[in-house]
Amino acid sequence: MDNNKEAIMQAAIGLIDEKGERLNEITVREICKRANVGLGLVNYHFGSKDKLIELCVERIINGIVSRFREFRETKDGLTPLERLEYLGNMTLSFLFDRCAVSRISVLTDMRMPKENDNTSRTYEAYLPLVSACRPDWDTEKVRRKTFCLITVMQQAFLRHEAVFRLLGTDLTVKESREAFHKQVLYDILEVRI
> What mean pLDDT do residues 125-143 have?
96
171 Cβ contact list (under 8 Å, min separation 6): 92, 96, 156, 157, 160, 163, 164, 177, 180
Q: Over the stretch 63-113, which tens digit does the pLDDT of each residue have?
A: 777 776 676 666 668 899 999 999 999 999 999 998 988 998 999 999 989
pLDDT, tens digit, for every residue of 137-155? 999 999 999 999 999 999 9
Eight-class DSSP state of 1? -
pLDDT in tens, 17-63: 888 878 888 999 999 999 999 988 999 999 999 899 988 888 888 87
pLDDT band, residue 1 (cuts 50/70/90): low
The confidence score (pLDDT) of residue 161 equals 97
